[in-house]
Amino acid sequence: MRDFQKPGRSAVFATNGICATSHPLAAKVAIDVLQSGGNAADAALAGAVLLGLCEPQMTGIGGDCFVLVKPAGTEAVIALNGSGRAPMGLHATDMRARDLTSIPVGGIESVTIPGAIDAFCALNARYGRTPLSDLLVPAIHYADEGVPVAPRVASDWADDVDHLKGAARDFYLLDGRAPTPGQIFRAPGQAHVLREIAAKGRAGFYEGAVADDMVASLRALGGTHTLDDFAATACSWGDPIKGHYRGQDLIEHAPNGQGATAILMLNILSHFDFAALDPFGAPRAHLEAEAAKLAYDARNRFLADPDHTTRLAHMLSPATASALAALIDPARAMAAAAPLTEAIHKDTIYITVMDRDRMAVSLIYSVFWGFGSGFASSKFGINFQNRGAGFTLTPGHPNEAAGGKRPMHTIIPAMLAQNGRIVMPFGVMGGAYQPCGHARLVTNMRDFGMDVQTAIDAPRSFADAGGMMVERGYGADVRTALAAVGHDVQTPAVALGGAQAIVMHDTGVLQAGSDPRKDGCAIGY
């Protein structure tokens, strides 16, 4: 139990339904949907769309999503891939001929077709209990009336101002500046788009006036995007992938997400006795860093569009993890994995909901960079993602950029199962950090016995190409010890990620935690 004389927050307990996400308005809307008779799929969808207005620098209707769904009455988990493809006119050879070595994060080449709206429509059609038109009402309301900008959102917005270009500056700045906490952000153009989707379903977005606005805007910026690219957008249903860690199963979305990286990290860490370590000491942080370097190197070699990923079984194999674990020196840091692309971003949004029938939804939704590509459509202000920056331009690489192909994604929803029963839908936002965040949350709870909120609150570290990022929650002694074994210790400019999770106890009681690094909360009823 936490010390109630120190800063912190309690986990939230409920029995009928619960939501954890990064903005209070979205959490409240999700609970409103549950209380009005909707299920977890309905609630997650309504909350996610609203998050695109509450946190527009992180996500929006111009982005992608991945979803894991555990329907009521079963422990089987279904995966929904809502990631869009590159326009058919994109060619790696053309970019290499221009002496590009990677896809510019702020270039028109980085803009892939938005996949989230198609996936939201499919999620509602297969699992929804409430009409899509009703679920979009809260987001339409807030798009018209406005959302007071939250403190963390305002901080991120200010960091991303210089990334906005052209029409996007008109739609996403107030008097030419980022909004401050409490200022009202409105998006009437997006309200119109959401009304079109409410009336016409996916056709309201991928066809007609909305698609015309997106395609005309992209082509005016030099893009090769066509109406056919938008009309052809289609999400896909499939099976998740699974790894085993100390009596629990980690369920992740299959590629083109990077969930396999989290599974490989935990497989590597299973070779070390964490129970003997201080959870907030340097040896634990060092082992985690080394496992991350090895797992991320495998990610960079193997993960891509599912039609091009051929070494997934090798990456998930316990034998692979065993061989990699043997490379770790407990007393010396190895070099960081080379980055796959220059595209390293801070955050995204994540929402998880569980309802009274114990349907569980784990949903992640993003435009990748802060405000995506920095471009927006000229009429409705749809902010375009830059997911194409997740491609590589290396010839023959499975993740080589090509028209009609999906790039490797950083966003990953997850669930934990024990003895065949789903016990925790969760996600840890934070771009490249996410697999490391999944591993840390699982080990915090499994190895060190932390409750879900304590496990989320705990300080984080992350070794990437820029050095060993160590949050201020760690003491100076830990920093000194990490530097002594060869880590380039730095304090991250922004807190590492933001986690949301729901635990279902054997008693049937639901417990949820929400990350104080974000503006959100968990709400139950």
> DSSP labels for 234-254?
--EEE--EEEEETTEEEEEPP
Give me the tens of pLDDT residue by residue for the chain, a chain 525 residues long.
778 898 889 999 999 999 999 999 999 999 999 999 999 999 999 999 999 999 999 999 999 999 999 999 999 999 999 999 999 999 999 999 999 999 999 999 999 999 999 999 999 999 999 999 999 999 999 999 999 999 999 999 999 999 999 999 999 999 999 999 999 999 999 999 999 999 999 999 999 999 999 999 999 999 999 999 999 999 999 999 999 999 999 999 999 999 999 999 999 999 999 988 999 999 999 999 999 999 999 999 999 999 999 999 999 999 999 999 999 999 999 988 776 554 454 568 999 999 999 999 999 999 999 999 999 999 999 999 999 999 999 999 999 999 999 999 999 999 999 999 999 999 999 989 999 999 999 999 999 999 999 999 999 999 987 799 999 999 999 999 999 999 999 999 999 999 999 999 999 999 999 999 999 999 999
Catalytic status, residue 348: yes
Architecture of domain 257-344+424-524: 4-Layer Sandwich (3.60)
- Catalytic residue selected from 112, 130, 309, 348: 348
Question: What whole-number distance in Å separates Cα of residue 222 and Cα of residue 225?
Answer: 9
Q: Are 385 and 373 in contact (CB under 8 A)?
A: yes
Owner of token pair 């056919």:
228
Quick one: pLDDT at residue 342?
Answer: 47
Quick one: pLDDT at residue 344?
Answer: 52
The full set of domain ranges for the chain reads 26-237+357-381, 257-344+424-524
What global pTM score does this model have? 0.97
- Residue 91 structure tokens: 């060619």
Q: Are 519 and 24 in contact (CB under 8 A)?
A: yes
Number of helices and strands in the chain (H, E): 19, 19
Neighbours of 365 (CB within 10 A): 31
Q: Nearest-CA neighbor of 504 among 3, 30, 40?
A: 40
Question: What whole-number distance in Å separates Cα of residue 56 and Cα of residue 337?
Answer: 31
Quick one: pLDDT at residue 431?
Answer: 87
Q: Which neighbouring-strand residues pair with 283? A: none
What lies within 8 Å, CB to CB, of 514 at 6+ separation is 9, 12, 20, 21, 22, 27, 453, 456, 499, 500, 520, 521, 522
- Residue 385 structure tokens: 């993602």
271: helix, strand or coil: coil
Neighbours of 2 (CB within 10 A): 15
Q: Which neighbouring-strand residues pair with 468? A: 463, 489
Buried b (16+ CB within 10 A) or exposed e, 187-208: bebbbbbbbbbbeebbebbbee
Quick one: pLDDT at residue 343?
Answer: 45
